[in-house]
């Protein structure tokens, strides 16, 4: 149950922490940073839980780095259960640091799923899974799909249940990078896009809030239907062509965070996923042409 954001949000973040319901996880976030309060109020309004929520999967804190870095060229530091697993980043990158740190938390602790580095959207509860390395264009594509009537399941993780083979939604802000930021803002003026963080390890980054319709169905799983491997090829042609299933399985295994951790169970889950899905390679150059190709995917039987 989400609660309305109020002027109390900065106080709650400073004191007991604000619980956020993010798909199957509850994250209790504490921070004294005004930029974090602003970003949580913008992006996670509909995922805030009552402050007295008793249980959290992750206890996260974002604060200024201690010592001289707290005042001179100030930095932000990410803490999980009091420990800091990462180097600090410039204070202007505090919210991207939260999102990247949360990726790490899920990847380290979500082994009841086969976790695939992929963007995921659904049409009529049939899921399109787009695995890809950084720069493949999956975040831009899934943002555009989510703003075109598809349901956003995730920008970063395909969470495949090991019990029933369904995909668990993990709707979070979509991480747009570099030229994708003005592209999405201009193509979809209704998109809610936060401040840009410059000079990160990924260039300029800004986050797009998931559409309310996607958040309203955050507990509704989807059935895998299409497995499409995008590849951003500027200046080329937009082509969607069938991929042999053996090739798809090998490529998928490389994109799974915990494939080797799960062992035989991971292989069986990946093989069943490939077997159930139509598999394709997408060479992506123009957003509108690639969107047309993805919208034309036939419904799975």
Q: Is residue 300 part of a domain?
A: no
Q: Is residue 125 part of a domain?
A: yes
Q: Which residue, 87, 109, 131, sits at the end of a domain?
A: 109
Q: Residue range 272-281: average pLDDT?
A: 96
Residues above pLDDT 70, as percent of the chain: 96
90-103 pLDDT, tens digit per residue, is: 999 999 999 999 99
Q: Is residue 301 part of a domain?
A: no
pLDDT higher than threshold 60 for residue 2? no
Q: 164 and 234, same structural domain?
A: yes
Q: Is residue 212 part of a domain?
A: yes
What distances in angstroms separate CA 179 from CA 53, 154, 229, one per listed residue? Answer: 39, 21, 21
Q: 199 and 73, same structural domain?
A: no
pLDDT higher than threshold 70 for residue 68? no
Confidence grade of residue 203 (pLDDT, cut at 50, 70, 90): very high
pLDDT number for residue 70:
60
Q: How far apart are CA 19 and CA 21, in angstroms?
A: 7
Question: How does DSSP classify residue 119?
Answer: E
Q: 239 and 202, same structural domain?
A: yes
Q: What rounded mean pLDDT belongs to the chain? A: 93
Q: 244 and 141, same structural domain?
A: yes
Q: Which residue, 109, 127, 143, sits at the end of a domain?
A: 109
Exposed (0-12), middle (13-18) or buried (19+): which is 31, by Cβ within 10 Å?
buried
pLDDT number for residue 127:
98
Q: 104 and 169, same structural domain?
A: no
Q: 124 and 172, same structural domain?
A: yes
Q: Residue range 110-132: average pLDDT?
A: 96
For the range 87-90, what are the long-range contacts, defined as Cβ-Cβ under 8 Å and sequence gap of 24 or more?
A: 89/200, 90/199
Q: Is residue 4 part of a domain?
A: no
Q: Which residue has the higher pLDDT, 233 or 227?
A: 227
Q: Is residue 176 part of a domain?
A: yes
pLDDT higher than threshold 90 for residue 63? yes
pLDDT higher than threshold 50 for residue 3? no
Q: Are the CB atoms for 143 and 135 separated by under 8 Å?
A: no
Please give the residue range of the domain that contains residue 258: 113-295
Q: 263 and 165, same structural domain?
A: yes
Residues above pLDDT 90, as percent of the chain: 88
Highest-confidence range of 47-51, 63-67, 132-136, by mean pLDDT?
47-51
Q: 42 and 82, same structural domain?
A: yes
Count of CB atoms within 10 A of residue 84's CB?
A: 15
Q: 98 and 168, same structural domain?
A: no
Count of CB atoms within 10 A of residue 288's CB?
A: 10
Q: 95 and 125, same structural domain?
A: no
Q: Which residue, 90, 109, 128, sits at the end of a domain?
A: 109
pLDDT number for residue 4:
44
- Overall number of domains in the chain: 2
Q: Are the CB atoms for 190 and 150 separated by under 8 Å?
A: no
Maximum Cα interatomic distance, the chain, rounded to a whole number of Å: 61
Q: Is residue 1 part of a domain?
A: no
Q: 126 and 87, same structural domain?
A: no
146-181 pLDDT, tens digit per residue, is: 999 999 999 999 999 999 999 999 999 999 999 999
pLDDT number for residue 279:
97
Q: Residue range 189-216: average pLDDT?
A: 96
- Per the listing, tokens 């319709």 go with 213
Q: 276 and 127, same structural domain?
A: yes
């Amino acid at each position: 149950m989400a609660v309305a954001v109020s002027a109390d949000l900065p106080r709650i973040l400073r004191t007991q922490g604000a619980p956020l319901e993010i798909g199957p996880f509850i994250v209790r976030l504490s921070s004294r940073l005004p930029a974090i309060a602003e970003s949580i109020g913008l992006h996670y309004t509909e995922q805030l839980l009552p402050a007295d929520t008793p249980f959290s999967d992750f206890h996260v804190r974002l604060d200024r780095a201690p010592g001289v870095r707290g005042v001179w060229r100030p930095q932000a530091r990410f803490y999980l259960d009091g420990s800091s697993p990462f180097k600090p980043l410039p204070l202007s990158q505090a919210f991207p640091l939260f999102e990247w740190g949360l990726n790490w938390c899920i990847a380290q602790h979500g082994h009841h799923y086969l976790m695939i580095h992929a963007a995921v959207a659904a049409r009529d509860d049939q899921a399109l899974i787009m695995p890809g390395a950084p720069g493949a264009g999956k975040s831009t594509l899934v943002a555009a799909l989510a703003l075109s009537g598809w349901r956003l399941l995730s920008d970063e993780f395909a969470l495949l249940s090991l019990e029933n083979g369904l995909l668990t939604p993990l709707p979070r802000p979509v991480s747009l990078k570099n030229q994708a930021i003005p592209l999405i803002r201009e193509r979809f003026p209704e998109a809610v896009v936060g401040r840009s963080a410059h000079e990160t390890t990924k260039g300029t980054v800004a986050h797009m809030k998931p559409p309310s319709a996607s958040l309203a169905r955050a507990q509704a799983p989807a059935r895998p239907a299409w497995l499409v491997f995008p590849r951003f090829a500027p200046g080329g042609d937009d082509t969607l062509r069938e991929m042999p299933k053996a090739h798809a399985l090998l490529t998928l295994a490389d994109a799974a965070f915990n494939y080797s951790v799960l062992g035989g169970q991971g292989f069986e889950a990946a093989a069943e996923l490939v077997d159930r899905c139509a598999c394709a390679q997408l060479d992506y150059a123009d957003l509108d042409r690639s969107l047309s190709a993805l919208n034309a995917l036939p419904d799975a039987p």
